[in-house]
Structure 1
């Protein structure tokens, strides 16, 4: 009988309040909340990642504020950097001048322009595989960004958007339920309260009956 090797995935290591950053990730001037996890080959520049948010592999995040409990799938790109199309050449030698020995200083105006177009992502957002979030966009709490979507406009809370460019297909819940969830704001609860009420997070109707105003 022919024998075949069996490959079993390694058991995941439990997370801790200390951020878990994969050794292959490139991080520059960024901050991470408690229980966060950053996957392999991520590039995160001048961004803030909220508590419990995680990223999978090959994610790029530039100049972005990400809320708590957000799930970011592999190969997502948030706030891809732009090039100066108005110049004779778009090549970055005109602003990364030191790299090419054209000047002793870089053109900081380009980098400041990028910083001024930050992306903001709410709490409990799910961003699917390969999605791209363009500069200056705001993603509302509870939203779903479909795999491969290119988001060029703001997304309302709890909306599901798909496509290129991304367009809303429906809301996850009725407007009454959305209003209640936003009012409850469970993502702001301290960990001890989350632990106490953990089992209730799986039943939306009873959760709202119990904690809604």
Structure 2
């Protein structure tokens, strides 16, 4: 047996208000919030990620928006681009014609893709290799299991798994979820988050200190 104490690049230990990018990455026409991190070989196309969200290796976002404090594991893909299967061929030479010296590109296909954007709320965890199909919305606090294929909307604070993904349980009961939601903690500034760190490590303490005692739960 061979013991290896250290090998390869260290995991980054500090982030800053400016986005941290680990080359190589591909980012086009996209927005990145403060304290964000994008790991190597990720790709963002006409997408946005909110403050504190991180994307691990080889994540792909196409026409997708991820809220604040998103946790996106390696190899996840949001909004994989659909092909026009109602045409004689699904191949992209019909809309990327210029690439093949066949004529003008068909911009209507790119507009069609943009109209099927993916919307992910705050504090969502997307597991390794998860796929979120075009047009799907995922609510705040939801969890998508590794390898899941999400083909329909996911309610807030719901854990989904499988192909296609189905709800398997709630992350919190509806009353607690509603109380957490009411705090809108993801909009607290950096200093406030740091000051209240101990409460983020203890659900009961967080609810006691910062959540309203009673909130009407969503259906």
TM-score range (shorter-chain normalised) is over 0.9
Runs of 4+ that moved beyond 2 A:
2-9
Q: Who is 1:117 aligned against?
A: 116
Rounded to whole Å, the distance in 2 between the matches of 1:3 and 1:95 is: 53
Aligned residue pairs total 211
Rounded to whole Å, the distance in 1 between the matches of 2:110 and 2:86 is: 15
Relative distance call for 1:3 and 1:72 in structure 2 (3 A) is: closer
Deviation at 1:7, TM superposition (A): 3.2
Q: Who is 1:197 aligned against?
A: 196
Where in structure 2 are the equivalents of 1:42-81 lying within 5 Å? 42-81=42-81
Measured against aligned partners, the alpha-carbon deviations of 1:62-119 in whole angstroms (never above 9, x if no partner) come to 001110001000000100001010001110000001000000x210000000000110
Deviation at 1:210, TM superposition (A): 1.4
Q: Who is 1:160 aligned against?
A: 159
RMSD between aligned residues: 1.3
Where in structure 2 are the equivalents of 1:2-41 lying within 5 Å? 6-8=5-7, 10-41=10-41
Where in structure 2 are the equivalents of 1:120-139 lying within 5 Å? 120-139=119-138
Deviation at 1:27, TM superposition (A): 0.6
Deviation at 1:53, TM superposition (A): 0.2
Relative distance call for 1:199 and 1:180 in structure 2 (3 A) is: same
Deviation at 1:22, TM superposition (A): 1.7
Relative distance call for 1:3 and 1:132 in structure 2 (3 A) is: closer
Q: Which runs of 5+ in 1 are unaligned?
A: none
Rounded to whole Å, the distance in 2 between the matches of 1:113 and 1:182 is: 33
Rounded to whole Å, the distance in 2 between the matches of 1:133 and 1:139 is: 9
Deviation at 1:163, TM superposition (A): 0.2
SS in 2 for 1:181: helix
- TM-score normalised by structure 1 residue count: 0.96
